[in-house]
């Protein structure tokens, strides 16, 4: 495909010109526009503001012009996080108690395990549409695959969405596992097999969102735009110039890269200088123990992954440029986050992905990596490097799985601020409601709506408080039997094999974000309190353990 490239620093000047304090921005008569941008499987240190070496000038500028969160959390994987993001509620309440693809027989049909965003909650789009907003979405939905359960049915005026967890970033619609092949897409409430011409996910989704915003611009109505990138989720695909940009950059391996990012995060003040670097998990092979061929493949995978992150930043920058061009950027709140940590899977780790008939659809040659027809995921070594100073990765409740980037910028948000306060993905919708002056309904279309569990982050943003949750409050989660509970700086975790031992552990994740020092034996009473709080949480939200 052809990419029409601009200077990579496209959005920096615009952000710099608009990096004003909250009292310096003149509000329009309508509420601010909301641009919600989500990356897919982005590790905590993959971008510049969090210590990454990948070129992300748009996100760097966004952080300089807004507020950066260093202790923000999501769920361990895609759809549970997206359910909480959209609803302001727990994933077990909103319908994604587990991924719809892996529902156990005893979970099927249980409340909170519908496998789609259920009717007990409303979506962010429904809230903002009721407040008079245009609502647009382009990108990954993963909250319902059938007609009647699509984003167009949940408050979005105009949509083009990929419906499943992951797929080819080109127009071939190849899935990453047999059950999702060919990949499902939908446009405005109807399934479609037709992809836009010259499709590449990050570029196309940005193009489509720009077109949707342009279609109603000037009518005096604010917009909510949800740009849900599928990058850098595998398969690792990216066009030139990004395919070649990071050649030989990662030949030293994942151990060296992780050490560098750990040091960078400390230098930026994102983690304490005394925080130890966690050991690699046992599933990660020592870099020097790999064959020359395996090291070459691993390094090439990370090169492509870095190119995907860079390309995503560039395409996001095009949207920012467009908002500047049409005079809307100074009245747009931009929220950027990832849905979970970095992905430890190799492509063959997905259910059914080793089926010979499925494998035969791909060209797995080294020369084809990153190009159409390839199917490669970069595995636990570089996933650990993406986590930097944090332990583990996606699919686990380790900090590397659930602590994710969050950056916010726009009217009412101070520039160049960093907060170390704990916050959770269900807090975004209450914050958006505050920013827009919207109302959360008690009922919609004749059905009762459960109250949100999240709370507005405005006290952190406006400086009226340094914390969102009190030191004695409990916040926790669960996914696939992995459990976590947080109280102040303490976190109890239970991580099942192969990434853990299935036992409860206790950490001070403010001082030790890498979860290197288990305090369970030293502080048994604290662990008991957190375990009891987790049981209360599980009863409250209706956790159904898989059998």
pLDDT value of position 534: 98
Closest of 399, 372, 420 to residue 499, by C-alpha: 399
Catalytic residues: 78, 142
Q: Are 509 and 518 in contact (CB under 8 A)?
A: no
The rounded distance, in Å, linking the Cα atoms of 514 and 286 is 19
17 has a pLDDT exceeding 70 = no
- Distances in whole angstroms, Cα of residue 532 to Cα of each of 131, 189, 250, 284, 535: 40, 43, 44, 33, 5
Q: How far is CA 378 from the centre of its chain?
A: 18
pLDDT mean over 40-58 = 98
Strands 134-140 and 223-228: parallel
Instruction: Please report the pLDDT score of residue 10 as a whole number.
Output: 52
> Does residue 3 surpass a pLDDT of 90?
no
- Helix, coil or strand: residue 540: helix
List pLDDT tens digits, range 234-293: 999 999 999 999 999 999 999 999 999 999 999 999 999 999 999 999 999 999 999 999
Mean of pLDDT values over 14-36: 60
Torsion over CA of 461, 462, 465 and 467, rounded to 10 degrees?
0
441 and 121 Cβ atoms separated by less than 8 Å: no
3-state secondary structure of 447: strand
Three-class DSSP category at 47: coil
pLDDT value at 18 more than 80: no
Higher pLDDT, 10 or 51: 51
Q: Which of 513, 42, 97 is nearest to 266 (CA)?
A: 513
Bridge partners of 36, per DSSP, are 226, 335
pLDDT at 8 over 70: no
Confidence of residue 30 (pLDDT cuts 50, 70, 90): confident
pLDDT at 24: 36
Please, what is the average pLDDT of the chain?
94
Three-state SS at 185: strand
pLDDT band of 29, cuts 50, 70, 90? low
Average pLDDT for 489-507: 97
* Domains of the chain, CATH where assigned: 12-470 (3.40.720.10)
Alpha-carbon distance values, 106 to 103, 203, 424 (Å): 8, 41, 29
Q: Specify the DSSP class assigned to residue 362.
A: S
pLDDT of residue 5: 46
The 3-state DSSP class for residue 121 equals coil
Is 23's pLDDT higher than 80?
Answer: no
**pLDDT value for 15:** 61
**From the CB of residue 521, how many other CB atoms can be counted at a distance below 10 Å?**
8
**Beta strand 33-39 with 158-162: parallel, antiparallel or unpaired?**
unpaired
Q: How many CB atoms lie within 10 A of CB 542?
A: 14
Nearest to 434 by CA among 541, 326, 335: 335
- What are 112-164's pLDDT values in tens digits? 999 999 999 999 999 999 999 999 999 999 999 999 999 999 999 999 999 99
* Statement: residue 483 has pLDDT above 70: yes
CA angle 282, 237, 404 (to 5 degrees): 55
Phi and psi for 210 in degrees, rounded to 5?
-60, -45
- For residue 167, the SS3 value is strand
The average pLDDT across 321-345 equals 97
Greatest alpha-carbon span in the chain? 63
Residue 6 has pLDDT above 70, yes or no: no
Question: Which of 536, 496, 414, 427 minimizes the C-alpha distance to 463?
Answer: 414
pLDDT tens figures, 355-409: 999 999 999 999 999 999 999 999 999 999 999 999 999 999 999 999 999 999 9
What is the 3-class SS of 459-509, one letter each residue? Answer: HHHHCCCCCCCCCCCCEEEEECCEEEEEECCEEEEECCCCCCCCCEEEEEC
């Amino acid at each position: 495909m052809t990419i029409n490239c601009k200077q990579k620093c496209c959005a920096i000047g615009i952000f710099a010109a608009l990096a004003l304090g909250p009292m310096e921005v003149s509000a329009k008569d309508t509420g601010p526009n909301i641009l919600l941008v989500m990356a897919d499987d982005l590790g905590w240190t993959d971008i510049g503001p969090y210590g990454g070496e990948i070129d992300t000038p748009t996100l760097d500028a966004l952080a300089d012009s807004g507020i950066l969160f260093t202790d923000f959390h999501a769920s361990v994987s895609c759809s549970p996080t997206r359910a909480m993001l959209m609803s302001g509620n727990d994933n077990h309440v909103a319908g994604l108690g587990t991924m719809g693809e892996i529902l156990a027989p005893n979970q099927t049909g249980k409340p909170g395990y519908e496998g789609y965003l259920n009717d007990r909650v409303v979506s962010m789009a429904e809230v903002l549409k009721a407040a008079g907003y245009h609502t647009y979405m382009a990108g990954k939905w993963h909250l319902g695959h059938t007609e009647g359960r699509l984003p167009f049915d949940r408050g979005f005026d105009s949509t083009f969405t990929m419906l499943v967890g992951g797929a080819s970033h080109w127009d071939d619609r190849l899935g990453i596992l047999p059950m999702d092949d060919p990949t499902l897409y939908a446009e405005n409430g109807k399934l479609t097999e037709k992809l836009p011409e010259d499709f590449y996910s990050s570029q196309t989704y940005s193009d489509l969102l720009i077109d949707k915003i342009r279609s109603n611009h000037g009518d005096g109505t604010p917009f909510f735009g949800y740009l849900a990138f599928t990058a850098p989720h595998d398969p690792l695909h990216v066009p030139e110039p990004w395919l070649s940009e990071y050649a030989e950059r990662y030949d030293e391996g994942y151990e060296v890269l992780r050490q560098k990012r750990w040091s960078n995060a400390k230098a930026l003040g994102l983690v304490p200088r005394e925080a130890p670097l966690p050991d690699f998990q046992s599933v990660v092979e020592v870099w020097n123990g790999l064959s020359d061929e395996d090291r070459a493949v691993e390094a090439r995978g990370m090169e492509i992954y870095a190119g995907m992150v860079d390309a995503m930043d560039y395409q996001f920058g095009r949207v920012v440029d467009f908002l500047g061009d049409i005079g809307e950027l100074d009245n747009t709140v931009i929220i950027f986050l990832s849905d979970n940590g970095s992905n430890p899977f190799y492509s063959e780790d997905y259910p059914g992905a080793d089926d010979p008939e499925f494998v035969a659809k791909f060209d797995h040659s080294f020369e084809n990596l990153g190009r159409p027809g390839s199917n490669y995921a970069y595995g636990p070594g570089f996933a650990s490097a993406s986590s930097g100073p944090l332990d583990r990765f996606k699919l686990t409740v380790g900090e590397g799985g659930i602590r994710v980037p969050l950056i916010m910028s726009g009217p009412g948000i101070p520039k160049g601020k960093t907060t170390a306060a704990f916050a959770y993905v269900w807090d975004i919708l209450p914050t958006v409601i505050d920013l827009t002056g919207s109302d959360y309904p008690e009922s919609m279309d004749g059905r009762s709506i459960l109250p949100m569990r999240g709370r507005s982050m405005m006290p952190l943003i406006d400086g009226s408080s340094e914390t969102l949750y009190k030191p004695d409050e409990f916040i926790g989660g669960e996914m696939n039997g992995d459990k976590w509970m947080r109280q102040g700086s303490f976190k109890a975790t239970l991580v099942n094999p192969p990434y853990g031992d299935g036992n409860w552990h206790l950490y001070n994740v403010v001082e030790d974000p890498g979860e290197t020092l288990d305090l369970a034996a030293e502080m048994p009473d604290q662990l008991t309190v957190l375990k009891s709080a987790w049981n209360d949480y599980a009863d409250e939200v209706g956790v159904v353990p898989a059998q």
